[in-house]
Amino acid sequence: MANFFNDNESLKFHLHHDMMKEIVRLKERDYADYGKYDYAPSDFEDALDSYEKTLEIVGEISGNILFENAESVDQDGPTIVDNAVVYAKGTQQNHEALRDAGLYGMSLPREFGGLNFSYVPYVMAAEIVSRGDCGFANIWGLQDCAETIYEYASKEIQDEFLPKINQGFTCSMDLTEPDAGSDLQAVQLKATWDEKSNCWRLNGVKRFITNGDADIKLVLARSEEGTTDGRGLSYFVYDRKHRAVTIRRIENKMGIKGSPTGELVFNNAPAQLVGDRKMGLIKYVMSLMNGARLGVGAQSVGLSEAAYREAFKYAQEREQFGKPVLNFPGVYEMLANMRAKTDASRTLLYETARCIDYYKSYEAISKERKLEPEERQKLKQFQRVADILTPMLKLFTSEYANQITYDAIQVHGGSGFMKDYAVERMYRDARILTIYEGTSQLQVVAAIRGVINGGYIALIKEYEAKQAGPEFSTMKKVLVSMRKRFEEAQERANSFGSNSEFYDFNARRLVEMCGYIIMGHLLVIDANRCSSFTNSAELMIRMGQSKVEEAATFIMNFEEASLAKYKIVSDCKNCEE
Amino acid sequence: MSFKIIVLAKQVPDTRNIGKDAMKEDGTVNRAALPAIFNPEDLNALEMALHIKDNIKDATITIITMGPSRAAEIVRESMYRGADNGVVVSDRKVAGSDTLATSYTIAQAVKKLGKFDLVIAGRQAIDGDTAQVGPQTAEKLECPQITYAEEVVMVNENKIQIKRRLENGVEVVESKYPCLITVHGSAKECRSRNAKFLMKFKKAKSNSELQELGQDYSALWNEKPYLKIDEWSAADIMAEDSRLGLTGSPTKVKKIENVVLTQKESKVLTPKDEDINDLMKELISSHILG
């Protein structure tokens, strides 16, 4: 009986972080629900115990059902029958198991049938689900949409839709269109007010919609006629019961094949406005997107863990030249780096989740009562950190998931290239992670703000000031030298102005330098609490040091004039004629 | 009037991880050496009960388990999945019961619960593999029984149709209530624990568990009566002592033999009649067949 929570001590380590006591107290409003709901906790110990026991259920379902079904789900995939998406048999079984276990609506308040879990355990559940089946994590993870409805929609809409989430009604966020991918300001799907029916009507096409045939759809649409940018877009909620959306096709994808990706045609579909008009993209989608990026972070960590474990197991069992391949430097280096990257990804994930937990709770409390000045300050402080850590998390963890699944195949040798081994599927599943919910390139655009406004440096200096045991003094010194190297490179980039093309061109290098330093510090902090992370801390810092040096060297030697050499107009002069 | 389902469940030693010290000198199972688990087919039975509860308004599920005080874990595990309450029949007098004494004890407990519609049990427990307790209990309750149930074909407040898994096929039978069903391992697996039920019932305890822990629950039980797991003694279920435990068990274990199956040699046979004949004779004489 596999259990993907119980077999992973790192999860318990992060769940028992010092900050959790305050995070849970805020989320539970000093345990005000106790007595009102029979499943509400009475105090912190009770809440944490409930988190652990619930995550045990997630771990059991993920290990015994999701993971076991993953291969057949990958083969079967969803189909369209009578204009409805039918999940693969395994997908349906996964969905029902998680629904029956009460694991939809985990973060929703109890008044809507939710479990009122804070972000840390909710994200942990997402990580565990992703380890079982990366693609299924999308269908389960889209319960995030409920967060947006809870935060921004009217009470009527909340009451109509939110209680359905815990019953297993599925969600989708319908943003992308054929001509509006990364550039969502170009969304064209039209929303018009229908006076007669007293509702909005949606008309147009959406493309690449994950779980496109969901019960509850959040749709970004142009409500202001004659506008062309993001300010003319509003956010709507559509109920599948109206049957006014045609599923034109399901995409035949490279990976996450169990997760249906649909092209949809809205035919005068009735919908309700979420929040205020014109705030669709500017406010609500941005908020939803931040949640989704955290979700991809969790998905990436779960997949990395799965791939690392498959590779490690294989390397122990497979013998060549008379010994397990694990004993060869070329192989054990790969595995050790995979382990270090997974630990680094995970610590960044939960650091981000903790910040989000804090500020989201304060935000929710501010709707109930006026915050004290110091609470307001904390809200701002944690929101600032969450805002710069979220794109960094998405950038690093998704790229690492790709590197780790790539190496997992390499460890398997020729066998890894065959469909007989799970790593082949994992490698394909990983590929989308750096693309959807904002490509890596777009994460850099979001994260560079933290470089420009000094957010990362402030955070790094905070970490530097934290005390750690004497055994970490060398690591901490290296981290300080990495920070100094970053500052040199940043100074050079600044000399061209932060709006310059020089700056944009080197933005990823600058963001990544900060990332290596931050992950290094986080692992030292973890290792100081639990020695099992010492190895990963040392390995990550060693890796980060050379990466920072590489990026710094590039920037220090880069000339503005060199930009032209990267702008290839055409490879072949003859073609231009 | 609610529809009352009683599920019989047993905590058993996990015989899937059996070691050398699994049996004691006297031929009884050494429970201390093996982890205690929910008898697998009783989980199938619980799932069937939950399925019926999903389909009949106001149905309730009560678990009856017999065993030491730690068997309360079976009641909690059932409540995490949707059972409403449960009772542990625990008494030194019931120790060492064979199937006759066990079915007597359980029938007495069922009778104490009053009128019922359905009793559902696993076909057999992995520690004894007798498959006798369910049928014997039905006889003592004087109600019809459906054994080897695999699937509920139809169920409502008045009758139930069950598909039975038999050696050479399946059969669909129908019964009125009350009725006792024993469930085969090929039936639907039991659902996972539900997070809300788990949080609600995780602190449920029986009296003797509290005594062991040195905790006082009287205030909590007042506030949340569902956190009390009832414990019944032989006296509580009005059982006659002579029919309980070792005294009430005519079955006597004469000898326990350790059978180790090993592959010693391989044999190559030709598809000739005499070769096959010889093999059949050998298999019959060594009691592998027959």
- Give the start-to-end residue ranges of the domains of chain A: 9-165+282-434, 170-278, 463-561
B119 CB contacts (<8 Å, ≥6 apart)? B5, B6, B7, B8, B110, B137, B138, B141, B143, B178, B179, B180, B181
Q: What are phi and psi of A363, to 5 degrees?
A: -60, -45
- Which residues in chain B (191-230) have CB-CB distances under 8 A to chain A? 191-200, 202, 224, 226
Comparison of pLDDT for B248 and A136, the residue scoring more = A136
The rounded distance, in Å, linking the Cα atoms of A405 and A310 is 10
Of the residues B43, B199, B200, B203, the best mutation for testing chain A's interface (the one with the most A CB atoms within 10 Å of its CB) is B199
What fold, for A9-165+282-434?
Butyryl-CoA Dehydrogenase, subunit A; domain 3 (1.20.140)
Percent of chain A with pLDDT over 70: 99
Mean residue pLDDT of chain B comes to 90
pLDDT at A576 over 60: no
Quick one: pLDDT at residue B276?
Answer: 87
Quick one: pLDDT at residue A436?
Answer: 94
Cα nearest neighbour of B193 on chain A: A101
Q: Which residues pair with B120 in a beta bridge?
A: B7, B181
DSSP for A121-142?
HHHHHHHHHHHH-TTHHHHHHT
Q: What are phi and psi of A408, to 5 degrees?
A: -60, -40
**Which CATH superfamily does the domain covering A170-278 fall into?**
Butyryl-CoA Dehydrogenase, subunit A, domain 2 (2.40.110.10)
The rounded distance, in Å, linking the Cα atoms of A75 and A88 is 9
Q: Which of B192, B193, B196 sits opposite A39 (nearest CB)?
A: B196
Please state which CATH class domain A463-561 belongs to: mainly alpha
Give pLDDT tens digits for A76-117.
999 999 999 999 999 999 999 999 999 999 999 999 999 999
Cα nearest neighbour of A41 on chain B: B199
Report the half-sphere exposure of B203 (CA within 13 A, side-chain side): 22
Quick one: pLDDT at residue A302?
Answer: 98
The rounded distance, in Å, linking the Cα atoms of A146 and A157 is 11
Query: Residue A495: enclosing H or E segment and its boundaries?
Result: none
Instruction: Give mean pLDDT, residues A146-151.
Output: 92
The rounded distance, in Å, linking the Cα atoms of A377 and A385 is 13
Note whether B35 contacts A: Cβ–Cβ < 8 A: no
Mean residue pLDDT of chain A comes to 96
The rounded distance, in Å, linking the Cα atoms of A495 and B143 is 91
pLDDT at A573 over 70: no
Quick one: pLDDT at residue B1?
Answer: 64
Quick one: pLDDT at residue B23?
Answer: 73
A297 CB contacts (<8 Å, ≥6 apart)? A123, A345, A348, A349, A352, A390, A393, A394, A397, A398
The rounded distance, in Å, linking the Cα atoms of A383 and A377 is 10
pLDDT at A379 over 70: yes
The nearest CA of chain B is from the CA of A106 a distance in Å of: 9
Give pLDDT tens digits for A454-506.
999 999 999 999 999 999 999 999 999 999 999 999 999 999 998 899 999 99
Quick one: pLDDT at residue A517?
Answer: 98
Q: Which of B195, B224, B226 sits opposite A57 (nearest CB)?
A: B195
Quick one: pLDDT at residue A225?
Answer: 93
Active site residue A437: yes
The rounded distance, in Å, linking the Cα atoms of A274 and A234 is 8
CB A394 within 8 A of CB A438: yes
The nearest CA of chain A is from the CA of B160 a distance in Å of: 24
pLDDT at A75 over 80: yes
Catalytic residue among A177, A437, A512, A538: A437
The rounded distance, in Å, linking the Cα atoms of A224 and A200 is 12
Quick one: pLDDT at residue B115?
Answer: 94
What is the pTM assigned to this prediction? 0.92
Inter-CA distances, A493 with A144, A546, A559, B253, Å: 38, 20, 10, 86
What's the Rg (C-alpha) of chain B? Answer: 22
Which domains are present in chain B?
3-243 (3.40.50.620)
Quick one: pLDDT at residue A465?
Answer: 97
